[in-house]
Structure 1
Amino acid sequence: MRSMWETSAASLVQSDEPGWAPLWELLDAGSHAALALSLATPLGLRVDLAFAAIELGEARDELEWTREELTARAPARLGPLHIGEPVEDARRVVDRLIEAAIERVLLLADEATPEELGCLARVLQKLHAAARESARAAV
């Protein structure tokens, strides 16, 4: 059985919309998904996923400080994590969101101003921390 998050995540990951909004959506969805997943996992894994959610949330906040217009966007959510869904499949969805966000940061860096580059560097640091935390939660 595959995670029901797969379809929602695929639309975010495969977005060809230009600009900063798709990165914000990946960060928002990833943060929410990691937190929701942390509530459905055993305690040891729960902590790592909660830290991944925090890192993703901080990356989103960092982006919003530089691009204030992003704060007005509607939340990007994958939907609820249904009872009985494979936790490991759902965690891999979070990993895909993180990987897609890293790719988006690198694309945006090509045409960024110095201030935007500073923001993207901080976002990238948070994304790598979130990826480490998520990897620790692998079952």
Structure 2
Amino acid sequence: MEQHILPIELNLRQQSRVLEILFEDGARFRLPCEYLRVYSPSAEVRGHSPATARLQVGKEGVNIRDLEPIGRYAVKIHFDDGHNSGLYDWAYLYKLGRAWQPLWYDYLRRLKEAGYERRGPDPFDELRARGEAPSELPAATTTTTHETR
């Protein structure tokens, strides 16, 4: 289902280092640049299997330099640290938006296990401090059925 949901708005907020995406189903995600960078879909980051994935460290201040549309299915993100090898298709961005909390906490756990401590404020805490929700999902539609006798 998610692979068919298209974005209708991409808003890069470089000052706050956030990419805001509004999808046609009404879902709105505010994704920090650091989060997008550490979850890059590139083989350089993900590896060719979970065992070969590379933990991304030192990405606290990373920003997005440019967004390059790739057809109607993806965007190539050019980060200011030179990374630009991953294509973020719409389904992947939607997944990152829906699952931001478990993914982010998993990343923080892996950093800790590797002995690395993040520097600076948590980007999701910064969003919430500004009164912005990282994820706004549309209200689920419910169908009521009535039995007749």
Q: TM-score, normalised by structure 2?
A: 0.37
Structure with bigger strand share is: 2
Question: Which structure: larger Rg?
Answer: 2
Higher relative contact order (CA 8 A, sep 6+): 1
Q: TM-score, normalised by structure 1?
A: 0.39
Structure with bigger helix share is: 1
